[in-house]
Each structure stands twice: as structure tokens, then as C-alpha cells.
């Protein structure tokens, strides 16, 4: 580098701009689907090869593009959505920046065939690496078909950062699901590797669409929600308080049909559910806000996932009050007289939560935020914690010596921590972490050493569970592992599996809830893990579900049994997630606390 300031060539700047729009194959799917919906399509077909990493084709029956405009569609900043700068704040379509097609074409090969209803012939164009390779007449039905291949061939560094084919396919399916929920009347069909993975017919209303998209198990578990405030209308469906998930992945928010990830909306929904669901549980909801385009700025994020409301306080209040009313809270949060200590205290607590949400909202999407000045701080995903290694079968085992069982049990603290006295001081044991490690080791040892399945408890009536496509693929691919844990699951056709047995150490589990929590606990990255590592994730999740919970009072016999089981585990120091299960407090530390040293 000479250090001189130069003007970058168009071929380079177009690829840099593409990085803002095209992060992975799912970004291409999203942009092409949004274009199809903006074109008024009622039927859309998506074809993926190698999870979208090899090729993507999106075909729609929308209005098509005229021959004289086909080449313009691949020019930067060319758009039919706006004409003046002020139009940016009044746009009501999905896209308007005019960057999607040129950005996609700059890092791949794009072939588009399109025809309008009144045109006798269609038009075919090929663009590769941002350069047009041909424009000809073509016979084709009304609508547009776009095939994208050689993805990231022009930017091989970006390709190295892609994950496995199944994970990338999952990201694609996520966006298809989000957009399918936004437009219930549009039929969507998705094939991957020539196999049908989604076939969502048009629906009359959103509730039917939710059942068709997320699974039939949602039918009857969601209740309608609707409210209006200051010209802003909120409508959609939310889950009953007893129907929850262990993660927030099934909380869908839309603003003027656009899917968004917004802290303010998420916080408002959780405030409404705060007193009616368990801690660390999340509702299922599909909520749409309709408002004048000028009341929301959608241009605060390159992928348009974040928005900025003109009156965030009113939006927050609308969501909280509407949801509180429909889920049976009985009062608006400001008038709730529950555990918060009466009306004034309830109003104060609610006001504090509003201010907390607004403060974070201003930081994350306010005018201070620099979207293009530098990458915003991302929440770091911690690496999976190390799991203690089990000695190889047949290897010489050290002689087992009593450890925990030799300690004198004194009692429990906060219904969670077991307190023991030993010759060198105190030992505190987290009962949940300890039991979790015991169950995990039993599952792993049984599978590794004996090859036998854990004891399962057969259900009197097998339960059919409907799953989203990416979850269905993960469950059916993990059937052998589930069987090792005593869980009998079989494909049942379509989007369903049938659960015939559950692990005996989970006597009160419900099949639907257990599968949902298992999928959430394993995480997205588990989709592409080798079978051995996936087994560890599944065993960890099941052990966590079966372990004795906090605030459970244990009698001395149960504590003694727990200690004997811990003594039988070599190097029992942490739970499978990596948290310590026992913490010693030495006599020296105790004496220092009391100023004896």
C-alpha cells in the first residue's frame, strides 16, 4: 500500500457494498422473496442446492419486468420504489434501496427470466461478477425466475466463513418462515436437494398460516391479540401462558409487513408476560404493527432488520396493554396489584421497565448509533464449555475413594445449595448441577460402555408432534441418539414425528414441550455437528431437564444418594455446561472472614 488516497474501481466498490446486503445464502433468499412479494406474487417456489451454498432459484407468478427495464434492475441505485429523498420515509414496500440484485450479481452468477402479462415473449438476462453476459428473448410464463449460482466465487474469503450446508439451509428456511408468516395468502413451496421440505398453501387468515408454517401443535394454543393507539394498529396471535418455549426464536414481530428484530418490542412483550409465565421461559407470538410509513424509519440497518419509531413510548404501551389484556393478566401493567406491592408500586415498577427499555432503545437504534461508521458491537457467542472426559472403556480405573459421602451434611441454603462440613472447612454443592452431571454421565457411560439404551417409559397414547422443517430434519437425524437416552421417536409423515416413549428419569415430561426445549437447548450450531458431538449436546439437554431443580427441598436420604452417585464419577467438578458443582470454603477463609487471621 502506497498510502495515497485513490478512488476504488466499480468492481471493488460493488463487492464491498454487497457485503452490507449479502451476508450468506439466506440473505439472497430473503432479498429475492421480498422482491417477489413486492411484485404481487401469489405463488413462490424456492429451490436450494447444498443448503443454498451451491445454488438458489426463486420463481414467482408476480407482475414481471418489462424488457426495457431488465438491465436496469441490475444497476446500482436503480429502483421503482422511490423518486425523491422524502420518499424514503414513506416507502411501504419491502425493498427500495436498489442494491439487492446488483449486490447479489456482483458476488455470483445470476440468470433471470421474466415476462409481463401483456408481453408476447419474456426476457432472459445473465449477469456474472457484476457484468452483463447476455440479454435475449425467452419463452416463459408470467412472472420472474431468478437462478443464483457460483455464490461468493468472486469473494472466496466470504465463502470460508459459511457454516455447513444444513446450517445454511436452516438460515434460509428461517427467512422463508418469517416471510410466509407475513403474507398468509401467498403459497410457498421449498425444495432442498430435490426433496420437498416446505409446502405451505395459501391460508385465509394468520392463525391458519401459523399452524401450516410452524406446525399443527400451535393450533388451539394461540389467542388473537388486537389493539390500537394513536393511529397505530397492533394485531396477531400470542400463546396462552401455559404454552411457552425455552428460547425466544418463535417470537415474530412485523412492522408494516417487514420482519424486525427490535429490543423495544421484545421487552414490551416480556413485560406483559412477566407475571404469568415461569422465569426463563418465552411465549410464542406473531405480532404485526401497521402504522403510517412516516412514523417509522426502516433505513437504520443495511439488512433493514432494525427500525426506529417516532414515538417509541406509545408503541411500548400499546404492546404491553394489548398483550396484558388478552393473556388474562386482568389489569393493565400500571394498575397491577400483584407481587409488586399495590397500585403505586406496580405503576412505579412498570415506569421503571419502560425507562429501561427506552434507554436501551435509544442506544441501539437512536441517532447516536453509527450504522455505517463501524460494525456495531455484537453479543459474543461463548464457545461450548469443555466437558469432562470419560476414561476409555477397558482402561485401568483408579480406585474409587469416598469424597462427598465422607462429608457431614449440615443442610440447604435457599433450597438450592447443599452445605457440608469437612475436616478442612465447608463444601457447598449446587444440587441441580450435581444431579445434572450424574444423569449426563449415566447416559454417556451407558451408550459408550454397554451400548444399551437407557430405560424408557412408554406412553399410553403415542403423541404426534408437528415441527418446523429445520427442526424436523434435526430430530429425524438424531433418532439413534434419542433412542440411547430412552426416547422413542419415529417419522410420522409430512411435518410430524410420533413420540412413543420418554426417558424414565423424566416421568412428568410432555412430549411436545420436551422436544421444543431440547431443540432450543441444543442451539443452532448443533445442526452441523458430527454425531459424537451432537450426542453430547442432546445428553446435556436431557440431563438438564431431568436434574433436580432449584428450590426443591431434599431429605437426608436423597442427599446421601446424591453423594454416593457423585463419588462414582471420576473428576466430578462441573456440570455438563461447565459450571462448578461444588465450591470449597477453607477453614483459613472462614477464619479470615471472622478476623481470626
Same domain, 244 and 351: yes
Read off the pLDDT of residues 467-499 as tens digits, 9 standing for 90 and up: 888 888 888 888 888 998 888 999 888 888 899
Tell me if 84 sits within 8 A of 288, measured CB to CB.
no
CA–CA distance, 405 with 267 (Å, rounded to integer): 46
C-alpha cell at 212: 401450516
Look up the CATH number of the domain holding residue 189.
3.30.565.10
Where is average pLDDT lowest: 198-207, 424-433, 518-527? 518-527
3-class SS at 54? coil
Domain end call among 200, 221, 238: 200
pLDDT given for residue 131 in this prediction: 87
What single DSSP character describes residue 51?
G
Confidence of residue 340 (pLDDT cuts 50, 70, 90): very low
Residues 458-483, buried b or exposed e (16+ Cβ, 10 A)?
eeeeebbbbbbbbbbbbbeebeebbb
Same domain, 107 and 217: no
Same domain, 453 and 579: yes
Same domain, 179 and 212: no
Confidence of residue 196 (pLDDT cuts 50, 70, 90): very high
pLDDT given for residue 92 in this prediction: 52
User: Residue 453: which of 463, 469, 468, 442 has the closest Cα?
Assistant: 442
Domain end call among 142, 174, 200: 200
Tell me if 269 sits within 8 A of 318, measured CB to CB.
no
Tell me if 566 sits within 8 A of 572, measured CB to CB.
yes
Asked whether residue 142 is domain-assigned, the answer is: yes
Same domain, 435 and 310: no
User: Residue 123: which of 143, 109, 150 has the closest Cα?
Assistant: 143
Tell me if 89 sits within 8 A of 293, measured CB to CB.
yes
Look up the CATH number of the domain holding residue 335.
3.30.230.10
Asked whether residue 390 is domain-assigned, the answer is: no
Predicted structure pTM score: 0.67
Q: What is the percent of the chain with per-residue pLDDT over 90, rounded to a whole number? A: 33
Asked whether residue 430 is domain-assigned, the answer is: yes
Same domain, 33 and 148: yes
3-class SS at 495? coil
Read off the pLDDT of residues 236-258 as tens digits, 9 standing for 90 and up: 999 988 888 888 889 999 999 89
Number of other CB atoms surrounding residue 412 within 10 Å: 17
Kind of pairing between the strands at 43-49 and 187-192: parallel
3-class SS at 162? coil
Kind of pairing between the strands at 417-422 and 408-413: antiparallel
Task: Give the mean pLDDT of the chain.
Answer: 80
Same domain, 42 and 143: yes
Asked whether residue 303 is domain-assigned, the answer is: yes
pLDDT given for residue 14 in this prediction: 57
Beta bridge partners of 282: 245
Asked whether residue 484 is domain-assigned, the answer is: yes
Tell me if 426 sits within 8 A of 433, measured CB to CB.
no
3-class SS at 13? helix
pLDDT given for residue 343 in this prediction: 45
Same domain, 246 and 352: yes
- pLDDT exceeds 80 at position 135: yes
- pLDDT exceeds 80 at position 371: no
Q: Find the mean pLDDT for residues 101-118.
A: 92
Number of other CB atoms surrounding residue 563 within 10 Å: 21
Asked whether residue 385 is domain-assigned, the answer is: no
Asked whether residue 159 is domain-assigned, the answer is: yes
Same domain, 212 and 148: no
Same domain, 180 and 214: no
List the domain range (segments joined by +) for residue 144: 10-200
pLDDT given for residue 16 in this prediction: 53
pLDDT given for residue 252 in this prediction: 95
Same domain, 303 and 410: no
Domain end call among 145, 175, 200: 200
Length of the chain: 597
Same domain, 175 and 247: no
Confidence of residue 300 (pLDDT cuts 50, 70, 90): low
Tally the domains of the chain. 3
- pLDDT exceeds 80 at position 531: no
3-class SS at 320? helix
- pLDDT exceeds 70 at position 377: no
> Beta strands of 243-324 (E only): which ranges?
244-245, 251-255, 258-260, 282-283, 285-290, 296-297, 308-309
- pLDDT exceeds 80 at position 363: no
User: Residue 284: which of 323, 328, 338 has the closest Cα?
Assistant: 323
Number of other CB atoms surrounding residue 369 within 10 Å: 15
Look up the CATH number of the domain holding residue 426.
3.30.1370.100
3-class SS at 420? strand
pLDDT given for residue 338 in this prediction: 34
- Return the H-helix or E-strand segment holding 44: strand 43-49
Tell me if 470 sits within 8 A of 169, measured CB to CB.
yes
Asked whether residue 373 is domain-assigned, the answer is: no
Q: Find the mean pLDDT for residues 151-180.
A: 88
Tell me if 300 sits within 8 A of 371, measured CB to CB.
yes
Amino acid at each position: 500500500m502506497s498510502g495515497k488516497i485513490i478512488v476504488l474501481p466499480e468492481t471493488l466498490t460493488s463487492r464491498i457494498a454487497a457485503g452490507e446486503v449479502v451476508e450468506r445464502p439466506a440473505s439472497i433468499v430473503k432479498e429475492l422473496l421480498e422482491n417477489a412479494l413486492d411484485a404481487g406474487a401469489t405463488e413462490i417456489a424456492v429451490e436450494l442446492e447444498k443448503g443454498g451454498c451451491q445454488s438458489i432459484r426463486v420463481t414467482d407468478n408476480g407482475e414481471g419486468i418489462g424488457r426495457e427495464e431488465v438491465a436496469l434492475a441490475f444497476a446500482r441505485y436503480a429502483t421503482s420504489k422511490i423518486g425523491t429523498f422524502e420518499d424514503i420515509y414513506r416507502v411501504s414496500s419491502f425493498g427500495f434501496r436498489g442494491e439487492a440484485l446488483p449486490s447479489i450479481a456482483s458476488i455470483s452468477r445470476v440468470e433471470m427470466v421474466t415476462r409481463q402479462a401483456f408481453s408476447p415473449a419474456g426476457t432472459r438476462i445473465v449477469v456474472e461478477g457484476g457484468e452483463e453476459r447476455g440479454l435475449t428473448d425467452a419463452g416463459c410464463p408470467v412472472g420472474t425466475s431468478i437462478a443464483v449460482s457460483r455464490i461468493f466465487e468472486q469473494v472466496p474469503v466470504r465463502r470460508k466463513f459459511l457454516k455447513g450446508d444444513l446450517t445454511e439451509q436452516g438460515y434460509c428456511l428461517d427467512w422463508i418462515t418469517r416471510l410466509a408468516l407475513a403474507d398468509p395468502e401467498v403459497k410457498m413451496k421449498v425444495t432442498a436437494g430435490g426433496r420437498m421440505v416446505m409446502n405451505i398453501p395459501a391460508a385465509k387468515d394468520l392463525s391458519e398460516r401459523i399452524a401450516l408454517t410452524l406446525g399443527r401443535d400451535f393450533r388451539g394454543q394461540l389467542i388473537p391479540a388486537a389493539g390500537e393507539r394513536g393511529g397505530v394498529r397492533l394485531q396477531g396471535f400470542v400463546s396462552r401462558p401455559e404454552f411457552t418455549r425455552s428460547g425466544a426464536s418463535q417470537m415474530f414481530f412485523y412492522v408494516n409487513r417487514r420482519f424486525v428484530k427490535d429490543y423495544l418490542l421484545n421487552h414490551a412483550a416480556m413485560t406483559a408476560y412477566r407475571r404469568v409465565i415461569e422465569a426463563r421461559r418465552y411465549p410464542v407470538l406473531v405480532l404485526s404493527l401497521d402504522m403510517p410509513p412516516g412514523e417509522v424509519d426502516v433505513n437504520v440497518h443495511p439488512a433493514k432488520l432494525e427500525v426506529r419509531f417516532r414515538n417509541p413510548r406509545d408503541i411500548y404501551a400499546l404492546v404491553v396493554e394489548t398483550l396484558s389484556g388478552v393473556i388474562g393478566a386482568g389489569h393493565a401493567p400500571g394498575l397491577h396489584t400483584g407481587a409488586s406491592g399495590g397500585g403505586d408500586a406496580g405503576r412505579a415498577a412498570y415506569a421503571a421497565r419502560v425507562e429501561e427499555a427506552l434507554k436501551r432503545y435509544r442506544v441501539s437504534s437512536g441517532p447516536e448509533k453509527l450504522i455505517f461508521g463501524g460494525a456495531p458491537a455484537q453479543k459474543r457467542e461463548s464457545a461450548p464449555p469443555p466437558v469432562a472426559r470419560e476414561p476409555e472403556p477397558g482402561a485401568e480405573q483408579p480406585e474409587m475413594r469416598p469424597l462427598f459421602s465422607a462429608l457431614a451434611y449440615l443442610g440447604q441454603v435457599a433450597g438450592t445449595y447443599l452445605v457440608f462440613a469437612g475436616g478442612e472447612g465447608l463444601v457447598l454443592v449446587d444440587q441441580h448441577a450435581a444431579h445434572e452431571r450424574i444423569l449426563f454421565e449415566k447416559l454417556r457411560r451407558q451408550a459408550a460402555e454397554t451400548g444399551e439404551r437407557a430405560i424408557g417409559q412408554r406412553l399410553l397414547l403415542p403423541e404426534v408432534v408437528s415441527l418446523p422443517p429445520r427442526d424436523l430434519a434435526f430430530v429425524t437425524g438424531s433418532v439413534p441418539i434419542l433412542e440411547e437416552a430412552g426416547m422413542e421417536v419415529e417419522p410420522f409423515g409430512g411435518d410430524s414425528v410420533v413420540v412413543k416413549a420418554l426417558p424414565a428419569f423424566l416421568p412428568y415430561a410432555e412430549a411436545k414441550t420436551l422436544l421444543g426445549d431440547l431443540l432450543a437447548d441444543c442451539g443452532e450450531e448443533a445442526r452441523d455437528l458430527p454425531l459424537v458431538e451432537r450426542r453430547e449436546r442432546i445428553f446435556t439437554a436431557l440431563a438438564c431437564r431431568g436434574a433436580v431443580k432449584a428450590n426443591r427441598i431434599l431429605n437426608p436420604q436423597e442427599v446421601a444418594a446424591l453423594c454416593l452417585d457423585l463419588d462414582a464419577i471420576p473428576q466430578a467438578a462441573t456440570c455438563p455446561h461447565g459450571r462448578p458443582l461444588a465450591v470449597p470454603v477453607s477453614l483459613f477463609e472462614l477464619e479470615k472472614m471472622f478476623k481470626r487471621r
